[in-house]
């Protein structure tokens, strides 16, 4: 009986170890609202330029409220644009001479 219990316990441990790890969902700042599918915005864009390139006249680009909400809760202004990692984009570092 003890061996069956040990085998069952080992099976449970292996099954738990094989489960996929939980990952945080990435929330991006820009959503593209297509005129073809008006009820389902595509919120997968880091920058406004990426969103506009996808919209191309048939849709519009909107801010993602899920991205802005944490900033509003802290009383901060959300960044206008972000890079791939969600960091605010600052002014361009290239200088014209």
**In angstroms, what CA-CA distances link 61 with 26, 29, 51?**
18, 10, 6
The tens digit of pLDDT for each residue in 70-83 reads: 888 899 888 777 76
What is the 3-class SS of 2-56, one letter each residue? HHHHHHHHHHHHHHHHCCCCCCCCCCCCEEEEECCCCCCCEEEECCHHHHHHHHC
- Which three-class secondary structure state does DSSP give residue 93? coil
Q: Which two tokens stand for residue 43?
A: 């919120």
| pLDDT tens track for 7-58 | 888 888 787 777 777 677 778 888 998 877 777 888 889 888 888 888 887 8
Residues 6+ apart with CB under 8 A from 38: none
The token pair at 68 is 């802005």
Vertex 69 angle, CA 66 and 70, to 5°: 110
């Amino acid at each position: 009986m003890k061996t069956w219990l040990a085998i069952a316990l080992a099976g449970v441990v292996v099954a738990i170890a094989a489960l996929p790890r939980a990952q945080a969902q990435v929330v991006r700042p820009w959503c593209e609202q297509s005129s073809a599918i008006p009820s389902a915005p595509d919120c997968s864009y880091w920058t406004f330029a990426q969103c506009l390139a996808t919209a191309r006249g048939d849709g519009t680009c909107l801010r993602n409220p899920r991205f802005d909400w944490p900033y509003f809760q802290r009383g901060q202004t959300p960044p206008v644009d972000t890079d791939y990692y969600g960091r605010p984009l600052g002014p361009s570092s290239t200088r014209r001479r």
